[in-house]
Structure 1
């Protein structure tokens, strides 16, 4: 939000009375706002099937009781009012949940060819091999049963994926396209440790995923539209990119474009990781910080202009209001250029509150302003709480307000330069400490070096890079309006900004050598100490209140950071789409069976799914078994071996490969061969395949492992098919029975033969397949075979991550506890899968 810059703008709104107020002394309006916020935040536990009318009747009855306040006690009236505000928040949440789920793609239209017309809203990926863009449905087939009134009150948004597009111009915001595509319900991967993309889709109100086969541009937007201006700015900035034809171009046009319009698609993934590790990702694209800076610059310039006019006319009474309104209009224009991004909208609401309070002369405590801003934001955008930036922004601003409480602005304006730098340093440390719980939850780590990096990066962006980018964007707009030569001047301004970005990025790369650039969750229990100091130093109230608050915080954090007792033995099949990644957990150690796929465009499930899962459970992987060299099984292996260099790798060696010297390879690699037996953490592991003799293809040469722990068996089969299954039946007869079976080859029709299933005789069958995958896996015949034998079949495409935990009861007997992600781990409505 407006984290570090908002302090100066709020300085004059502090009074002695405001600083002496405690958190417990809310005005009635603030209490109602808090109750309304609580009702909205109850949204995860609601259900779209609930009746809204009963809640409305209950809310109306509570308001009716308040009408007879003369016959009730004051405390009773206040309690009923708070209940009414809480019910209003719940009703508002349930209404928006129902509106979001008002339309679902009919089952009969899943993956069926259709012709739709959409208006492009946002382009997020634009590579030669893949385009990804969001749009609003304007026209669709009658079979989609799309209510026409939705286009007015709740437009239906879809996300389009266009693989290997033709040699035409990519869709741009505002354009209207007619697409020939196949659609399916919007869904995503769900696993512990990583934020499900399905949450983001709900946040952005995307209701369907569309795979485009062909498309035609129908209409180009008018050039005065904001989307067209954004597109023209992007086109102009991209022409400045350094290339063979343009050796004197700029290197960091992606960052310049992100600062001008909020378009981040041209910033590489490894660069974002660098910014996150060093704690400066918040300044690399349009955010509340940038909007606040724009507001501050506009306010300062407007004050100079309006003050000179007011002095010339002899009137000085109203110039302050004029300057505030002028700066607010500039901030609104900048937010529109950023397409009213979530973080920008949050800052705009807070800045608007500041302008209103200053114009009307209200004396309101900053904490109350923050509370009312949050209530207004949730009223305008009830799904804002799904965004991690919402919680980070609110917490950061709350920390700044508490800091002002103990160190008022007036006491710092008289300080010297060194004292001001020290004050900013203390603020950076304060923000880093205050955000510890959230950074642990969302990022599984803390950028301890953030106070240092922000201390020198923010001034460079504030005083040099951002002003130059804004002036360059303004000049590009003037060029569009007919001012000849403005684009050349814009390039001249962008050039020093690019040089400054060079220095910033190289400095951040050097800072990663500092051992405090990132700490994982495993090292954070001692972080309770600085949090307790933070409460004792800045929490308002008497000393006994500070001691009480610090005690509650320390106990809560220690319980939260205390790692839960790991299961004795567990099998976790991760949701990686159409692929395979299984984690065998033995206490705090793990054996990985396959690493998941890596998709076109750079999405790596090894980096994005498997590693966050291991960090979430605080597991140390010791073995990585790669069943066979197909992309959906080994795509994430490079990321895993880079993150865990001591891990040993067991992989299938294809026929014709010559043995290599593994003594110098890191990690150590071994071939998977029939007959291997070893013991790992008390688990007996036997390699049953690849079978000796001729090869029948990479699938049939998969590394098949039988794991046994205290009489409980798990059979991991890779992608073996009919031939290898029957060969195993003939060679091993009944010696490879197992309680848990990984269904061979994702449940294809050429696998899971009846003889094989009968010999294994599993209690539970797990299959890793993508939701509505184009191969129709698991095949209906395979489902039927397991159903006839009353073997429950769990598919990651339907259930998400599937954890099967070995549980020992009081009688010292073992049984398996099955925990599907969508039904057991996080059974929230917005994570449920569409059902056929």
Structure 2
């Protein structure tokens, strides 16, 4: 009755708001139920189902989305297959696998990528890997109605036609939205020049495809005079444009920007066919409502905000302006670059300064020449492979010319502006300031909005007071990385592991944390020893951050280092730093010769022992005794049974014992007996797999990043 009353009294906006909330709540509950529970025990199971995405190939492994037929499992899971057979799965095929599944889980760090959020937005309820088994087999080939199968087949055709093309990854991105082959260096060039949006098939590309379909269909219809008398060519052209837009959007994978563009183009084409006037703002609003109805969690995707925000800026700056704007296309580039700054800061903490120049050259070239060539090549594939090859080769040549310009721009020292994580009041003021600047000339007080930018210019991240120290133990999975800050100095102790050629925690975790803290220069990096889980991220850090000194227990190739030796000490901002281990000419394994650092500030004392084992612990106890006592101990060797002897623990008597371990790691760290020894001190047990990044020194109690940043999609970690 309540909803009937709202409808009767024409309070439709209230009715729509309430219905929207109920729909979102229903979708949220469904998404939560679709997830594998965090306390689900790891077990091997056999599954049958559909390959729901184009497999992504890596170094000796592939990964893909899989829709199992078993209703007791999540509707979609993400699987990896290490060392797969030559006959790998293809999109749209039905397979049977023996898999080991785990709940959706990711590292949780300040400034870092929220992997669990990404999985949630994709509807993926579990991750896992395929185990070697004789019954891993293809059950059925792909159906002819599988869109992903079409996309995969097109990908194979394009690869075979231009196998040596330098810009093949970009061509695949523009053709079918397949961006897996674009490497980190290429993405960095696109980000630095503000041209990443060209790889997201959206309004520009869908509009071009629709226009091409409109023109070709209209031209063909005009050669049929008997039919064109009854139905005008432009109406049939609208249907051709609609069909081409739908076809291209499906090939692109129907991402959020693609959905928005397809809906807007479809409404425009239908309006032309039915001879109805339409307002761009109404079309944009309707497209937004349809996208959110289909997927309420689209708001978690940066592409949603950037896509709709960009079109809204164009409409706001270019419509209902009299007289017309001179050089409107040039002004649009500038306004887009400026007005999207708040969104770029929120999602990426990175703003391209050269974006207007990069887009000024890239957008016309891509829109007028490159994308039409690629679309024509795909349309002509069934008719002439040779002609398609020539068109794709021409697109590759033009992309090479464009890439040389973008690469030069990206290497300029001022190409991008790395920003810290601003508090929300400053971001609100920035957004309001830019909104006022977009208003028509003559709007009262328009240019006073520049005053709202003043807090942005004077903002500084909080730093420790003189004599105090901040210690951040980052969540890097099975490994160790920590950042120590004083008033004017920064030290990194270990850098976490390198998981693959394209992913290391130095670049994925430590560098984003430093950006979050507005740190561009690091005074010292200490590598406790040479195991991958401690040194693997070093190259990623050196790639992005200026490091003054590297200290380690063993030589590193192609790097100038200082060896850590017991007795070294220094003071930064009244905070004492001492190297306690290894002693000169000390023998033993790499673990036993780990660098051990002790930090003593007014607010906090910390001991970082690397991976020393019981022999090294005995040396420390006999050499330093009770002076080892510290508030925080990064438990040696991640809680292995080879370390954490009773005398060592009693000498330190830590208030907090921190285990830097990976979620459900294969070693079973921390060992139960070791954890019990710390509880008997008593020490408070903290774990990066359960707590995420752990931040000390910011108050009386440590900050647990996983618990502080808990959201709807965050898994509740349990032992």
TM-score by length of 1: 0.79
Find the aligned partners of 1:63 and 1:129 in 2 and give their Cα distance. 57
Q: Does structure 1 residue 555 correspond to structure 2 residue 452? A: yes
> CA, structure 1 residues 524+116, in 2 after alignment: closer, same or farther (shift >3 Å)?
closer
Find the aligned partners of 1:527 and 1:386 in 2 and give their Cα distance. 18
Find the aligned partners of 1:698 and 1:635 in 2 and give their Cα distance. 15
What's 2:652 paired with? Answer: 760
> CA, structure 1 residues 675+534, in 2 after alignment: closer, same or farther (shift >3 Å)?
closer
Find the aligned partners of 1:556 and 1:370 in 2 and give their Cα distance. 29
Q: Does structure 1 residue 818 correspond to structure 2 residue 702? A: yes
Find the aligned partners of 1:647 and 1:504 in 2 and give their Cα distance. 36
What's 1:607 paired with? Answer: 507
Indicate the SS of the match to 1:160: strand
Q: Does structure 1 residue 63 correspond to structure 2 residue 17? A: no
- Asked if the contact 1:184/1:208 (under 8 Å) is kept, the reply is yes
- Asked if the contact 1:539/1:546 (under 8 Å) is kept, the reply is yes
Find the aligned partners of 1:797 and 1:685 in 2 and give their Cα distance. 28
Q: Does structure 1 residue 587 correspond to structure 2 residue 500? A: no
The CA deviation string for residues 347-401 of structure 1, in whole angstroms up to 9 with x for no partner, is: 1122223334445555554333322321221111111011101111111111100
- Asked if the contact 1:302/1:323 (under 8 Å) is kept, the reply is yes
What's 1:270 paired with? Answer: 185
What's 2:370 paired with? Answer: 465
Mapping of residues 152-551 of structure 1, within 5 Å: 156-166=75-85, 168-214=86-132, 215-223=136-144, 225-240=146-161, 242=163, 249-306=164-221, 309=224, 313-315=228-230, 319-359=233-273, 363=277, 365-405=279-319, 407=321, 411=324, 422-476=327-381, 478=382, 486-521=384-419, 535-539=435-439, 543-544=443-444, 546=446, 551=449
> CA, structure 1 residues 537+691, in 2 after alignment: closer, same or farther (shift >3 Å)?
closer
What's 2:524 paired with? Answer: 623
How far did residue 445 of structure 1 move?
2.0
- Asked if the contact 1:676/1:687 (under 8 Å) is kept, the reply is yes
Mapping of residues 95-110 of structure 1, within 5 Å: 95-105=26-36, 110=41
Q: Does structure 1 residue 728 correspond to structure 2 residue 620? A: yes
Indicate the SS of the match to 2:65: strand
- Asked if the contact 2:204/2:367 (under 8 Å) is kept, the reply is no
> CA, structure 1 residues 169+545, in 2 after alignment: closer, same or farther (shift >3 Å)?
farther
Find the aligned partners of 1:531 and 1:138 in 2 and give their Cα distance. 47
Indicate the SS of the match to 1:817: coil
What's 1:572 paired with? Answer: 472
How far did residue 631 of structure 1 move?
0.9
Find the aligned partners of 2:293 and 2:499 in 1 and give their Cα distance. 38
Q: Let me know the Cα RMSD of the aligned residues.
A: 3.0
Match of 1:596 among 483, 486, 496: 496
Indicate the SS of the match to 1:446: strand
How far did residue 432 of structure 1 move?
0.3
The CA deviation string for residues 93-142 of structure 1, in whole angstroms up to 9 with x for no partner, is: 21111111214436786332222223111245312412111111124xxx
> Which is worse superposed, 328-337 or 687-696?
687-696
Indicate the SS of the match to 1:544: coil
How far did residue 612 of structure 1 move?
1.3
How far did residue 511 of structure 1 move?
1.7
How many equivalent pairs are there? 710
Q: Does structure 1 residue 638 correspond to structure 2 residue 553? A: no
- Asked if the contact 2:526/2:550 (under 8 Å) is kept, the reply is yes
How far did residue 740 of structure 1 move?
1.0
Find the aligned partners of 2:200 and 2:281 in 1 and give their Cα distance. 27
Find the aligned partners of 2:106 and 2:427 in 1 and give their Cα distance. 33
TM-score by length of 2: 0.91
- Asked if the contact 1:524/1:561 (under 8 Å) is kept, the reply is no
Mapping of residues 709-728 of structure 1, within 5 Å: 709-710=601-602, 712-728=604-620
Divergent runs of 4+, >6 A: 522-533
> CA, structure 1 residues 465+638, in 2 after alignment: closer, same or farther (shift >3 Å)?
same
Find the aligned partners of 2:162 and 2:716 in 1 and give their Cα distance. 42
How far did residue 803 of structure 1 move?
1.1
- Asked if the contact 1:174/1:227 (under 8 Å) is kept, the reply is yes
